[in-house]
A and B are shown apart, each in its own frame.
Chain A
Amino acid sequence: MRRSVFITGLAAALLLGMGVFGTGRRGSVTSAQEKSATTEVKIDNFSFGPVTLTAPVGTTVTWTNRDDIPHTVVSTDDPKTFKSKVLDTDEKFSFTFNKAGTYPYFCSIHPKMTGKVIVQ
């Protein structure tokens, strides 16, 4: 019994260590992504992917609805920075971000669906 607890502890320590390495590695991947400016957000299974997109000023972001159900892309600020028409399956919406800042948005039909664009 005691041995199994010890092994579990060791495994946890190993996982923790991997986690630290993992975080470090993920950080460098993010900065590489920033340079290539990912501009696609896909809507699948009632969620935005990636949920948070970081991009440089001037980036055009395109959302594509890949669900069988229509969605919208609407910024949550007031007045709204951007607001798509309803997007049926495979329809797209694009917006160019010319100012640095954080832009939270959601689907106004299914408000549990939220995302964020961070423009640097």
Chain B
Amino acid sequence: MSEKKKDELLHDHNHDGIDRRGFLKCMAWAGTGAFCVMKGGVLNSYSLSRLSEISTADMMGELSFVQISDSHMGFNKPANPDVAGTLKAAVDKINALSAAPEFMLHTGDISHLSKPEEFDTVDQILKGAKPKDVFYVPGEHDVLNDDGKQFLERYGKGSKGAGWYSFDKKGTHFMGLVNVMNLKAGGLGTLGHEQLEWMEDDVKHLKHSTPIVVFAHIPLWSVYPEWGWGTEDSAQALAYLKKFGSVTVLNGHIHQTMQKVEGNVTFHTAASTAFPQPQPGKADSPGPMKVPAEQLKAVLGITDVNYVQGQHALAVVDSSLA
């Protein structure tokens, strides 16, 4: 990326890598497909239509993985009568990526009603994806009726508590969190005391330069509390991550892409592979949004993440299924 692109940051008065114009542009693309690259702490944003202008070297990091979310297998309402078909389209999209991802993250709501056959169908479809390892965290739709027992049996081997765990890939520390259990009346997502204590302990021994990726179903930032789009005790969780130079938080739940940068933390929500939900406050409720059939794939998607070690470089690319 030797030559200056039109939308690159030119001035960085706060030294936080974001100018207001750049940030708003990035936000404006949310939902239509945005590509944001953080390099040396500087956020650059491009629309997907300009992806071809970015060199492959910038996109091919040392670590490459893909995030999918909210497949809601079993959903059959007008907003999408064929969620298996759109999940297959997501797998095709993943298999067509130029930089083959090493593994996948699924940020929850795998199933719609926690039925065994719904999980089975997703497992079967994801077997068709080139990356073979999938790391899961549950959504509220995956832990219905049995307090998450089935989810733990299927996907939680070796995890702690309700299914949280961490692992390392090429020097990056990944933390899968659970914030959909024991929700309190009137409240938001919850991590809970036990999980927070585990988090504090889990990152204690890590160097400050270790890149951190946190993934959980419900956003760990306050997207729209009126619709329950936030997590009660996320501030405590983020406090444990303050010392790290690069933190990326990947969530699902709200069925639309959104991005926010706060200091060293980049928050990102992925699109669903099943159906879109309205923008915060733009409808009577956060229920499934019906769009004309030919537009559906344009509002569903996958998220591809590339990490360039040692450069604090992170590329989060949302691609629609269209």
Chain A interfacial positions (CB closer than 8 Å to B): 45-47, 67-70, 72, 76, 85-86, 88-89, 104-106, 108-112, 114
Contact = CB atoms under 8 A, between A and B. Distances in A.
A112 B227 contact: yes
B113 A86 contact: yes
Most buried by A among B140, B185, B284: B185
A106 B113 contact: no
Interface stretch (B30-38, B44-52, B56-64, B285-293): B285-293
Given A45-B285, A112-B228, A70 B113 contact: yes
A61 B144 CA distance: 23
B188 A68 contact: no
Given A68-B79, A69-B287, 19 more contacts: A46-B227, A46-B285, A46-B287, A47-B285, A67-B285, A68-B287, A69-B288, A70-B141, A86-B113, A86-B145, A106-B185, A108-B183, A109-B140, A109-B141, A111-B184, A111-B186, A111-B188, A112-B227, A114-B186
Contacts of B251: none
A112 B186 contact: yes
Interface residues of B, number: 24
Contact of A45 (B77, B144, B184, B287): B287
A70 B286 contact: no
Interface of B: 77-79, 112-114, 140-141, 144-145, 183-188, 226-228, 284-288
B184 A86 contact: no
Contacts, number: 56
Contacts of B228: 110-112
A51 to B, nearest CB: 12
B251 to A, nearest CB: 16
Contacts of B284: 45
Nearest to A115: B185
Nearest to A86: B144
A105 B226 CA distance: 18
A46 B113 CA distance: 17
25 contacts: A45-B287, A46-B285, A46-B287, A67-B285, A68-B77, A68-B79, A68-B287, A70-B112, A70-B141, A76-B185, A85-B145, A86-B113, A86-B114, A86-B144, A106-B185, A106-B186, A109-B140, A110-B140, A111-B183, A111-B187, A111-B188, A111-B228, A112-B188, A112-B226, A112-B227
Nearest to A68: B77
A88 B78 CA distance: 15
Top 4 A-B residue pairs of the complex, sorted by shortest distance between their CB atoms:
A106-B185, A45-B285, A46-B285, A111-B183
